[in-house]
Structure 1
Amino acid sequence: MSIYMFNLLFVYFWSWLSSFYGKKDISLPIGYRPNNLMVYISIVSLVLVSGLRYGVGTDYWTYSLLYNIAGIRDLGDIIGWGESETASDSDVGFIVFLWVLNKITDNPQLMFLITALITNILIVRTLRDYVKPFELGIFLYICTFNYYSTFNGVRQYLVAAVIFWSFRYLITGNWKKYFTIIILSSTFHASALIMIPVYFIVRRKAWTSFTFVLTLCFVLAAMLYNKFISLLMFLIKNTQYGHYEEWFTNNSNGMNIIKIFVLLIPLVISYLYRNKIREIWPDGDYVVNLCIINFLFGLLATRDFIFARFSIYFGLYQLLLIPIFTRLFDKKTNTLIYFILAVCFFVYSYMLLPVDSNVLPYKSIFSK
């Protein structure tokens, strides 16, 4: 755990310095730009801890195997030019990506390093542009467990990072760029296509009757879970996800209820201070709506953890929402809230580290 603690302290320190030595920038929604050099020093630590890990994460060996398989395949078969039965890969973009990396080296560690680099740069750059105080956003990135979750579901988090960076096009209504990015991202993970209908759902005022109707639908789906799953299986039976039928019918492993409260409490605060949040950030309603969807998928995940996979696309928006709470009141109260948030999420992360996502014990390529 010592490497994770060092990483947290190192990243927070340099993020704090980047905020301290930042400058006014009215082109950004927060009106302030942290110091870029110090931002990238923070990124270096995040990338190295993630990218140089060895055997860490539940999916580590699965991705290593996938990397090796991609390296021995023919490019024509991967993208459908050949006659191989394996030419029907739905996530062909990711397989081509691995194939290209194999031309550099057959060591899968390169994949983990490159994906860590892209994922963390895109997430941190987005936090830099939309979060104030920036260092709190970075602290939450680690202590909400989003950072550690990137060690698993590598390609889906890579896609989620790209879409998270594309948030700038969602709030400006530039649907052409947003949809183009989503469609390209879906070649890495087809589930990214869910963000196309989400675009129309979240680009509206939060806490309207639509919000409560949507919430009711998810609550009913959770309560009438077996009927909901039967309908879902009918809809996806002829897709690449059809093989999940046995999983849904036999698995009963749900999300920890503590995680649900972590998703719910910020939404309660957002509702109580919704008008103040709109004053601080007029586009904040879009963020709140994305966090609501995250919570709703969390509700379904209490019945089956696989629904938490969809939360990968929405959980990052909590990092944009929660820091706003430190700007709602007077300076003294805001400082107290900052401290409370830091302590609570640090304890939350500390509790999860030993039991979640196989991130302990940490081993690097130098200590394997």
Structure 2
Amino acid sequence: MVLTNYWMLLIWILTVGLFLNVVIPKTLVTIEGKSEYRWGKFSAFLLVVPYIVWAGFRTDWFGDTPVYRMSFYDAASSLSALPAYAASQTKDTGFYVLNSLFKIFISSSSVVFFLAIAAFQMFCIMRTYRKYSSDYWMSIFLFIVSTDYLSYMHNGMRQFIAVCGIFACFGFILKKEYLKTIIVILLLSTIHQTCLIMIPIIFIVQGKAFNKRTFIFIILTILVLVSLNQFTSFLENALKETQYNDTLLTSVWKDDDGTSIFRVIVYSVPMILSIFGKKYIDQANNPMINICVNCSIVTSLLYIVSKFTSGIFIGRLPIYTSLTGYILLPWLIDHIFEKKSAGIIKIIMMLLYVLFFYYQMHFSWKLL
């Protein structure tokens, strides 16, 4: 059950996944008042089961896994010890309380804990893509092949709990139920403080694609890039009292040369394609797609800033909006191109993403 051959990440979804996509009948459901065909719950779950298992049984040498495992072992083992343990935590107390409650009431096995976290994360992704994506298989494929799966479910697990919790509330954002969304964000900020960035973003992404708010965000980004030295100083001062203070005091922050330009380009694809397809986006005037387009703008701009500042800190923020890009891309291709051309474009897109997967896995992470 331990993942040793990372090509299996693609082999599963390109074999069993495509088989399920073709053979299993789709279910007719009502989405935002419209009847559309979607994957059934069982087949949608079956597609992602191996990714839950692989994340749960990951080895200690991958990313931050040993840190998370040790924090689980160090967590309180009884309710009487929990208050003192929680009080000893100086940041993201909610995560450590979660560790303790799981250890006390469910299991003292770190593997079981990792499996439970992976199941929660993948359920949020599966549920949202199944409901809102016009191509569930493609959305899951993009999530895996982009290496988001490994980056966050095998590495940045704590932040991804917050990311997935907010992503599961995509319907709240769509319906402008801001109070509910902000309550969820505030609760999840006890797991990872970075999710507070979503409070202004849920307002920025509302409205039509490429609206005034997004243009203001673009202008602010340009100002940040123009005054980069001042922004970096401001960022360092702002982070001194946060969970990233330790990072600032080490050479890791000073030696950080920003996010890879290849990653910036890859994550900007949904925004770039949206520019070319703006006419079709405006014609559809689909609130969900409008939000996804505006999220893609935020994603691209945050990655651009991270390229010139910090891939360690700023480069981790776009994940809060980039997951919607995997809803947007299949929709854009289906609506911009004719049916035959759309099929060819999807194949080309998949091949390019596989190349990025190989680049990231082989050259950046040395895993292939």
SS in 2 for 1:302: helix
SS in 2 for 1:255: coil
Report deviation, 1:271: 1.4
Partner in structure 2 of residue 83 of structure 1: none
Q: Residues 165-220 of structure 1, C-alpha deviation per residue, up to 9 Å, x if partnerless?
A: 11110011111221121111111111111111111111122223433332232233
Distance (whole Å) between structure 1 residues aligned to residue 285 and residue 120 of structure 2: 28
Partner in structure 1 of residue 357 of structure 2: 349
Partner in structure 2 of residue 94 of structure 1: 95
Q: Residues 118-167 of structure 1, C-alpha deviation per residue, up to 9 Å, x if partnerless?
A: 11111011110111122111111111111122211101111111111111
Report deviation, 1:46: 1.6
Say whether 1:49 aligns with 2:51: no
Say whether 1:262 aligns with 2:266: yes
Q: 2:311 aligns with which of 278, 287, 305?
A: 305
Does structure 2 retain, via aligned residues, the 8 Å contact 1:57–1:152? yes
- Structure 2, unaligned stretches of length 5 or more? 1-5
Report deviation, 1:231: 1.8
- Structure 1, unaligned stretches of length 5 or more? 81-85, 362-368
Partner in structure 1 of residue 116 of structure 2: 114
Aligned pairs (5 A) from 1:214-229: 214-229=217-232
TM-score by length of 2: 0.88
The one-letter amino acid of 1:46's match is Y
Q: 1:201 aligns with which of 204, 212, 219?
A: 204
TM-score by length of 1: 0.88
Distance (whole Å) between structure 1 residues aligned to residue 212 and residue 364 of structure 2: 36
The one-letter amino acid of 2:93's match is V
Report deviation, 1:239: 4.0
Distance (whole Å) between structure 2 residues aligned to residue 30 and residue 128 of structure 1: 14
Q: 1:140 aligns with which of 130, 139, 142?
A: 142
Q: Name which structure has the greater RCO, CA cutoff 8 Å, separation 6+.
A: 1
Say whether 1:314 aligns with 2:315: no
Say whether 1:170 aligns with 2:177: no
Distance change >3 Å, CA 112–CA 40, structure 1 → 2: same
Aligned pairs (5 A) from 1:58-69: 58-69=63-74
Say whether 1:277 aligns with 2:281: yes
Distance (whole Å) between structure 2 residues aligned to residue 153 and residue 191 of structure 1: 12
Q: Residues 234-274 of structure 1, C-alpha deviation per residue, up to 9 Å, x if partnerless?
A: 33434444444435862332111111111223212101212
Report deviation, 1:34: 1.3
Distance (whole Å) between structure 2 residues aligned to residue 27 and residue 264 of structure 1: 27
Distance (whole Å) between structure 2 residues aligned to residue 286 and residue 337 of structure 1: 23
Deviates more, 1:233-242 or 1:37-46: 233-242
Say whether 1:339 aligns with 2:350: no
The one-letter amino acid of 1:3's match is M
Alignment RMSD: 2.3
Deviates more, 1:329-338 or 1:126-135: 329-338
Does structure 2 retain, via aligned residues, the 8 Å contact 1:93–1:188? yes
Distance (whole Å) between structure 1 residues aligned to residue 134 and residue 94 of structure 2: 35
Report deviation, 1:115: 1.1
Distance (whole Å) between structure 1 residues aligned to residue 121 and residue 112 of structure 2: 14
Distance (whole Å) between structure 2 residues aligned to residue 131 and residue 137 of structure 1: 7
Distance (whole Å) between structure 1 residues aligned to residue 292 and residue 224 of structure 2: 24
Distance (whole Å) between structure 1 residues aligned to residue 51 and residue 19 of structure 2: 12
Partner in structure 2 of residue 323 of structure 1: 330
Q: Residues 63-104 of structure 1, C-alpha deviation per residue, up to 9 Å, x if partnerless?
A: 111111214682112444xxxxx1x53312211111122234
Does structure 2 retain, via aligned residues, the 8 Å contact 1:291–1:314? yes
Q: Residues 34-86 of structure 1, C-alpha deviation per residue, up to 9 Å, x if partnerless?
A: 12111111121221122122125211111111111214682112444xxxxx1
Report deviation, 1:108: 1.8
Does structure 2 retain, via aligned residues, the 8 Å contact 1:152–1:357? no
The one-letter amino acid of 2:355's match is V
Distance (whole Å) between structure 2 residues aligned to residue 354 and residue 52 of structure 1: 22
Does structure 2 retain, via aligned residues, the 8 Å contact 1:277–1:324? no
Distance change >3 Å, CA 108–CA 347, structure 1 → 2: same
Aligned-residue identity in percent = 25
Does structure 2 retain, via aligned residues, the 8 Å contact 1:57–1:151? yes
Aligned pairs (5 A) from 1:172-191: 172-191=175-194
Deviates more, 1:187-196 or 1:228-237: 228-237
Distance (whole Å) between structure 2 residues aligned to residue 8 and residue 30 of structure 1: 27
The one-letter amino acid of 2:148's match is N
Partner in structure 2 of residue 123 of structure 1: 125
Distance change >3 Å, CA 209–CA 179, structure 1 → 2: closer
Does structure 2 retain, via aligned residues, the 8 Å contact 1:58–1:357? no
